Amino acid sequence: MRAAVFSDHGGPEVVRVAEVETPEPGPGEVRVAVRACSVNHLDLWIRRGLPVEAPMPHIGGADIAGVVAVRGPGVEGVSVGTRVVVDPSLTCGRCEGCRRGEPGLCSEYRIIGEHTQGGFAEYAVVPAANLLPLPDSVSFEDAAAAALVFLTAWRGLVSRGAIRAGEDVLITGASGGVGTAAVQIARLAGARVFAVTSGEEKVRRVRELGAEVVYDRLVVDYSRELWRDTGKRGVDLILDSTGPATWEANIRALARGGRLVVYGATTGADATMNVRLLFWKQISIIGTSMSNRGEFETVMRLVFAGKLRPIIDRVLPLAAAREAHELLESGGVFGKLVLVP
């Protein structure tokens, strides 16, 4: 089969399309004929050498949508030919986190396409338990563009952030995959949405998604503007993946009793802050990552129902996998890039 692979860590130039062995499903697994798989920043980090035990040569791609092609031993309840989208989370099912119904806290937590071979290929092997039937009304491209980013945004805002109707919410990185999902989820929850992005065109498109106030970080100090626009109150909830570059601004932008939910650190691992603001404003700093199965099914069914809409920047052939890495790395993408075999 054809797959986008890399054998060494480095820049986009290490990504190539090659013929590799078609994987065989083991017990409890299925082989999915991939129809679409979207690109995430996670794929860039793994390619650069994120310290995980990724199999090499590596096939990335956590967001898989396709058709069940082969069932492995012991698989029942799913038919060959079924259209599916894949939950990217892999867990042990035995540890304390799993027993509590929080697989994201699993001691052996892994992600398809990070710790295993992924979906940037004609076929991928995944656990049958990770499949969710895909309605005929939803395209493979939309399903692939939705899975990881919508589940991340849903858990961050709803499960961890406890968003409530009437609250003011700030989404940083609002033109990215998670950001475009988060703007929609916050609006669906009844919040007033503030957002940060870069460039006039992205500002316009984020506003069209439902953000009431959008700041161009290249033009203004968004924390100063937000403080003024909220009557010197600040926002109740912030969803952020940037880390150090926005940390102090986010702390300043929070209202008393506000919550900062962090799901990434694209600008580095170490942030500094004024600790006095932490206790004086009684701020909560909350970490979040991925989702559990219930959250995955809930948000995907909202996508299936058309209440949430994945934003696709463009669809590219698998042969353009290197170009996809370059585009996402350049910062010029609005929403998601999707690869199709």
Tens digits of residue pLDDT in 8-60:
999 999 999 999 999 999 999 999 999 999 999 999 999 999 777 789 999 99
pLDDT of residue 36: 98
Q: Are strands 254-262 and 312-317 parallel, antiparallel or unpaired?
A: unpaired
Q: Using DSSP bridges, classify how beta strands 63-71 and 83-86 pair: parallel, antiparallel or unpaired.
A: antiparallel
pLDDT band, very low/low/confident/very high, at 271 (cuts 50, 70, 90): confident
Cβ–Cβ < 8 Å for 299, 184: no
Confidence of residue 274 (pLDDT cuts 50, 70, 90): confident
Distance of alpha carbon 81 from its chain centroid, rounded?
A: 27
Phi-psi region of 74 (alpha: psi -120 to 50; beta: other; left: phi over 0): left
User: What pLDDT is stored for residue 270 in this prediction?
Assistant: 87
pLDDT tier at 316, thresholds 50, 70, 90: very high
Count of helices and strands (H, E) across the chain: 10, 18
Tokens in use for 58?
Answer: 């590596």
- What is residue 53's predicted lDDT score, i.e. its pLDDT? 79
Give the count of beta carbons closer than 10 Å to the beta carbon of residue 181. Answer: 31
Q: 2-147+291-340, superfamily in CATH?
A: Medium-chain alcohol dehydrogenases, catalytic domain (3.90.180.10)
Task: Look at residue 266 and tell me whether its pLDDT is greater than 90.
Answer: no
Give the largest CA-CA distance in the chain: 62
So what's the pLDDT on residue 105?
A: 84
Q: Which CATH code is given to the segment(s) 162-287?
A: 3.90.180.10
- Please confirm whether the linkage preceding 103 is cis (ω < 30° from 0): no
pLDDT tens track for 184-204? 999 999 999 999 999 999 999
Residue 308 confidence (pLDDT): 97
pLDDT in tens, 152-180: 999 999 999 999 999 999 999 999 999 99
pLDDT at 339: 98
Those residues with Cβ within 8 angstroms of residue 325's Cβ, 6 or more apart along the chain or in another chain: 12, 15, 39, 43, 44, 47
Other C-beta atoms lying within 10 Å of the C-beta of residue 36: 24
Higher pLDDT pick, 131 / 92 = 131
- For residue 103, pLDDT over 80 is answered with no
2-147+291-340 and 162-287 have identical folds: yes
% of the chain residues with pLDDT over 90: 85
- What ranges do the domains of the chain cover? 2-147+291-340, 162-287
What is the secondary structure of 137-171 as a DSSP string? TS-HHHHHHHHHHHHHHHIIIIIIT---TT-EEEE
Mean pLDDT over residues 104-131, rounded?
94
Nearest Cα to Cα of residue 228 among 239, 210, 238, 215: 215
Per-residue pLDDT tens digits for 320-335: 999 999 999 998 899 9
Whether the per-residue pLDDT at 104 is higher than 80: the answer is no
Residue with tokens 């990185």: 173
Please report which confidence band the pLDDT of residue 272 belongs to, taking 50, 70 and 90 as the band edges.
Answer: confident
254-262 sheet: strands from edge to edge: 213-216, 192-197, 168-171, 235-240, 254-262, 284-287
- Global pTM reads 0.94
CA distance 153 to 335: 13
pLDDT of residue 290: 87
Count the Cβ atoms, other than its own, within 10 Å of residue 2.
Answer: 15
Give the pLDDT mean for 127-136.
97
pLDDT confidence band for 268 (50 / 70 / 90): confident
- Yes or no: say if 98 and 92 are a contact pair by the CB < 8 Å rule: yes
The residue assigned the tokens 């004929």 is 33
Q: Cα separation of 214 and 228, whole Å?
A: 14
- pLDDT score recorded for residue 66: 98
Q: Is 22 helix (H, G, I), strand (E, B) or coil?
A: coil
How far apart are the C-alpha atoms of 288 and 263, rounded to whole Å? 5
